[in-house]
Amino acid sequence: MSVPALVEEYSSDNPLVQGYEWLMNPMHWQGPEGIPLRALEHLGYTALTLSIAVAIAVPIGLYVGHTGRGRVVVISLAGVLRALPTLGMLTLFVLLAGLGLMPPIWALVLLAVPPILAGTYAGISAVSKDTVDAARSMGMTEPQILFRVEVPNGLPVILGGFRAGVLQVVATVAVVAYINLGGLGRFLIDGLSVSDYGRVLGGAVVIAALAICLDIVLAGIQRLAVSPGLKAPRRQRGDSPTGRETITAGVQGGNS
């Protein structure tokens, strides 16, 4: 629980200048109310949310993508969850379960599940049927096909869905401060309560910077996730891969 501080004194009435001065104040980078600890709390809420969302969305996406069963249900469910207002769901869960950590976390899980579910399903279902048939003709079982062929081939798309989920949660987890939890959202809520717009702008900048840094890291991981077997050698202009080469590359990508 945090008690809002008094409004700070700034050298200008310009909110941009106030935000800059707030960020440059060394007092805001230390102590239990400082930016580093608030950022760690923010990342902790994000990690907890994503852990639950991944545990729910990935198995469902793998099953639907591999078997093709329940495709319409998954697409409809993802669309419905995307339309739910996070702040409204937060209020609903608090009314049903009371104050605490998990009500806002479950509201954020509903936000994170759709992109992870859609990315997992799309990554698995987008794998070439010829590649899957080639793996099956080699005697692979269905679990082997899923985890040694489809998952490695679809991993960039799967990570793309995870990346989208991370960015949405990092940008939205500030709402947990609405019910007196921590995180970077404290700067927004506390600043608004005393009309300290320098603190509000500074907190918003820190949240945006954190999201951008995470996006850069995840983009690099997503690029590295392409299996070496899928990176075909460069060909001379006019050359095109044969069907056998395409199938072989896909299966090698799962075996590498």
> Token digits for 73?
């249900």
Highest mean pLDDT out of 143-147, 164-168, 249-253: 164-168
Gap between the Cα atoms of 147 and 144, Å rounded: 5
Fold of 16-21+35-231+241-255: MetI-like fold (1.10.3720)
Gap between the Cα atoms of 212 and 231, Å rounded: 28
> Token digits for 127?
């794998």
Give the up-direction half-sphere exposure of residue 91: CA atoms within 13 A in the CB hemisphere. Answer: 5
| For the chain, percent of residues with pLDDT exceeding 90 | 39
Distance of CA 30 to the CA centre of its chain: 28
Q: How far is CA 183 from CA 98, 159, 175, in A?
A: 19, 25, 9
Work out the angle at residue 50's Cα, subtended by the Cα atoms of residues 182 and 58, and round it to the nearest 5 degrees.
170
| For the chain, percent of residues with pLDDT exceeding 70 | 86
Residue 217 has a pLDDT of 93
With cut-offs at 50, 70 and 90, classify the pLDDT of residue 246.
very low
With cut-offs at 50, 70 and 90, classify the pLDDT of residue 244.
very low
With cut-offs at 50, 70 and 90, classify the pLDDT of residue 236.
low
Q: What is the DSSP letter of 233?
A: P
With cut-offs at 50, 70 and 90, classify the pLDDT of residue 1.
very low
In the chain, where the domains are located: 16-21+35-231+241-255
Q: What is the pLDDT of residues 147-169, one digit of tens each?
A: 888 888 888 889 999 999 999 99
Report helix angle 35-67 to 197-224, nearest 10.
40
Produce one character per residue of 177-193: b if its CB has 16 or more CB atoms within 10 Å, e if not.
Answer: bebebbbbbbbbbbbee
Of 107-111, 141-145, 165-169, where does mean pLDDT reach its minimum? 141-145
DSSP string, 238-252: T----HHHHHHHHHH
Q: What is the pLDDT of residues 70-98, one digit of tens each?
A: 888 888 888 888 888 888 888 888 888 88
In which residue are the tokens 């969305």 written? 57
With cut-offs at 50, 70 and 90, classify the pLDDT of residue 43.
very high
DSSP element (H, E) containing 166: helix 151-172
Q: What is the pLDDT of residues 178-232, one digit of tens each?
A: 888 889 999 999 999 888 999 999 999 999 999 999 999 999 888 887 766 666 5
**What is the three-state SS of 2-71?**
CCCCCCCCCCCCCHHHHHHHHHHCHHHHCCCCCHHHHHHHHHHHHHHHHHHHHHHHHHHHHHHHHHCCCH
